[in-house]
Amino acid sequence: MLACVDHGGPWLKDKHTLEQWALDASTDGVKRSLIAALEAGYDLLHVDPTVDRTLPPGESIRIEVVVERTLTLIRHVEAHRRNRRLPPIAYEVGTEEVHVGLADLAAFRTFLRGLQSGLSRAGLDDVWPCFVVGKVGTDLHTTTFDADVALGLYREVQSCGSVIKGHYTDNVENPAAYPASFMGGANVGPEFTEIKHDALVELEAREQTVLGKQALAQASGIGRTLEAAVFGSERWKKWLQSGEVGRDFHA
């Protein structure tokens, strides 16, 4: 098992967005998190500065800015690592999110070239990400993996020594296509959460059956407690679609 940081970048912690942190403050917070992970012995850092809350709604961050901010974070980590003589750490870069535009092959190539030249200028030719995240057809609302797109992206990074990683692999319909397309990794998360939630609901139903017959103890109320915790966190708001904003959460 490997210890990894996922989506390490400005405003990708809910706290940064909810509290409307400025770019410098959010970037500094990310730097501290990455250094803490490095010092803790993590194996891989996902460097992902692809969100920019300073831009007007609907405007995408420029690929050149993504490159420069990626380089800034990697240079910061590497300076600390080398100064402390810590062992090398693996990197993952990029994102599948539509807002950054890396789904476009031309932008994908621009990102790779910019990262290569930037690392070379910084004297970090020996540092190169093992994973580059690509948009391979899956997102929060789809479950179909696009094997042709994945294979095309793999061919772009193959000469660099990288492999493609896909996110949102939950409940994907064609998982056997991943190894056939030379995918190097696939993130799964919400699917496991759904399984845990369903298991808790089932356990609560069994609890109600037992209590109804024997009245051995007070009911746990785990379902209501879990829903209240999720609602109170407000972390679900970032996943709302345009037509869902302002609607009753419990409707």
In a domain, 145, yes or no: no
* pTM beyond 0.85, yes or no: yes
Question: What mean pLDDT comes out for the span 90-118?
Answer: 80
Q: What's the pLDDT tens digit per position in 185-205?
A: 999 888 888 899 999 999 999
End-of-domain residue from the set 133, 163, 184: 133
Instruction: Verify that 197 and 109 share a domain, yes or no.
Output: no
> What pLDDT is stored for residue 215 in this prediction?
57
Q: Specify the pLDDT at position 218.
A: 77
- The residue among 231 and 32 whose pLDDT is bigger is 32
Higher-pLDDT residue of 30 and 17 is 30
Q: Provide the pLDDT for residue 244.
A: 87
- Give residue 10's pLDDT: 95
Identify the CATH number of the domain in which residue 50 sits. Answer: 3.20.20.70
Q: What is the pLDDT of residue 101?
A: 46
Is residue 246 one of the residues assigned to a domain? no
Establish if 84 belongs to a structural domain. Answer: yes
pLDDT digits (tens, 9 = 90+) for 151-163: 999 999 999 999 9
- What pLDDT, on the 0 to 100 scale, is given for residue 213? 64
From start to end of the chain, where are the E strands? Answer: 4-8, 44-47, 90-93, 131-133, 163-166, 185-186
CA 66 to chain centre: 15
Q: Do 26 and 112 fall into the same domain?
A: yes
Residue 202 within any structural domain of the chain: yes
pLDDT for the residue numbered 98 = 45
> Residues 21, 120: one domain?
yes
118 and 218 together in one domain: no
Q: Quote the percentage of the chain above a pLDDT of 90.
A: 61
Least reliable range by pLDDT among 33-47, 126-140, 189-203, 206-220:
206-220
Q: Same structural domain for residues 53 and 127? A: yes
Closest by CA position to 163, among listed 185, 188, 146: 185
Q: What is the dihedral of CA 189, 110, 51, 68, to 10 degrees?
A: 120
- Residue span of the structural domain in which 212 resides: 192-239
186: left (phi over 0), alpha (psi -120 to 50) or beta: beta
- Residues 206, 91, single domain; the answer is no
